[in-house]
């Protein structure tokens, strides 16, 4: 394993180079092949990993817990009710203490600033398991899945249709880094953050890809190799659900919309899916869907991230 990643925080994909992203993906491929062959190296034998979760989680929590176990580490799940975080103890104090106990901290938070504060005060690497700004581990697994299905990354075209949320932000950065041209279609007022788009555009210039932000889903999916969507109301936005439904309805990933993509285009969704809203059953369960392979790869990429950053 490359030692240059050891000890690094993983807060946002903009902090990593194209080569480092590809290295993580390739190591994920190796660990997946090893698992299929019945081999398992315990890169983190005897170590412990703290998992702070302010938000509910299925795939991220389970994949990180299983990943830590299979690498030989002990995962300590800590939800908001278990901790003094923001309840009299500062994030800085929590970080100082936890990093005396564990080899790394995996944190799913509401505010991205909390991750920045954790990392600034922790001697152990901090890994972003989702924040309001970004979801880098998800996108690393997605890129692994795309390359697995398409045989390459550079030169592909991908459309993201729906809310310009944390997944869209990280997808922009990840795709632009590795040479995938990305078009994001969101309703007016729901586009990805301007600073993320600006950074992604700079990355795309270096990799030879393009970035397009549009309010027309038909424009985004024309002749693309992959189509991605996510829920219209993320955790913490439940009160906006009904209003978002009205605005987002034209951005639903339907069979009709998929007809504008390439015939061999794959369908991705980070899950959980609200079937009948951002994606139809026909598409979710159709032959172009790789959604559950994508979910499986979260385990393999999580193992790669933990091993490379903590071992």
Q: Which of 59, 61, 108, 177 is catalytic?
A: 108
Q: Which residues pair with 89 in a beta bridge?
A: 85
Establish whether 108 is a catalytic residue. yes
Q: Which of 112, 163, 230, 288 is catalytic?
A: 230
Is the bond leading into 272 cis (omega within 30 degrees of zero)? yes
Establish whether 262 is a catalytic residue. no
Crossing angle for the helix pair 18-36 and 166-178, nearest 10 degrees?
100
Buried b (16+ CB within 10 A) or exposed e, 153-177: beebbbbbbbbbbbbbbbbbbbbbb
Establish whether 157 is a catalytic residue. no
Q: Quick check: 6 and 310 in contact, CB under 8 A?
A: yes
Q: Quick check: 160 and 184 in contact, CB under 8 A?
A: yes
Establish whether 177 is a catalytic residue. no
Establish whether 138 is a catalytic residue. yes
Establish whether 42 is a catalytic residue. no
Q: Which of 135, 177, 244, 269 is catalytic?
A: 135
Edge-first strand order for the sheet with 104-108 is 74-79, 48-53, 104-108, 126-128
Q: Which of 138, 288, 294, 302 is catalytic?
A: 138
Q: Which of 270, 294, 300, 302 is catalytic?
A: 270
CA–CA separation, 66 vs 84, rounded Å?
A: 26
The set of catalytic residues is: 108, 135, 138, 230, 270, 298
């Amino acid at each position: 394993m490359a030692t240059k990643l050891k000890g690094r925080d993983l807060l946002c994909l903009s902090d990593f180079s194209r080569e480092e992203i590809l290295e993580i993906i390739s190591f994920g491929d190796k660990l997946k092949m090893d698992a299929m062959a019945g081999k398992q190296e315990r890169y983190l034998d005897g170590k412990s990993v703290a998992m702070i979760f302010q938000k509910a989680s299925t795939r991220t929590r389970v994949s990180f817990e299983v990943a830590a176990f299979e690498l030989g580490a002990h995962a300590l799940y800590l939800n908001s009710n278990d901790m003094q975080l923001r309840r009299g103890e500062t994030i800085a104090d929590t970080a100082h203490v936890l990093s005396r106990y564990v080899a790394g901290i995996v944190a799913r938070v509401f505010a991205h600033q909390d991750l920045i504060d954790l990392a600034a005060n922790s001697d152990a690497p901090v890994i972003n398991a989702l924040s309001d700004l970004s979801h880098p581990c998800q996108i690393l697994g997605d890129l692994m899945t795309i390359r697995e299905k398409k045989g390459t990354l550079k030169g592909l075209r991908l459309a993201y249709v729906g809310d310009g949320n944390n997944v869209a932000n990280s997808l922009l950065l990840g795709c632009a880094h590795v040479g995938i041209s990305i078009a994001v279609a969101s309703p007016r007022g729901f586009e990805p953050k301007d600073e993320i788009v600006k950074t992604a555009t700079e990355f795309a210039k270096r990799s030879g890809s393009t970035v397009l932000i549009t309010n027309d889903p038909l424009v985004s999916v024309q002749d693309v190799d992959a189509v991605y969507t996510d829920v219209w109301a993320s955790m913490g936005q439940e009160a906006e659900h009904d209003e978002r439904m009205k605005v987002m309805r034209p951005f639903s990933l339907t069979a009709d919309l998929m007809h504008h993509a390439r015939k061999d285009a794959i369908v991705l969704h980070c899950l959980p899916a609200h079937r009948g809203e951002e994606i139809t059953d026909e598409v979710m369960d159709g032959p172009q869907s790789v959604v559950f392979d994508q979910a499986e790869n979260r385990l393999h990429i999580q193992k790669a991230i933990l091993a490379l950053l903590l071992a």
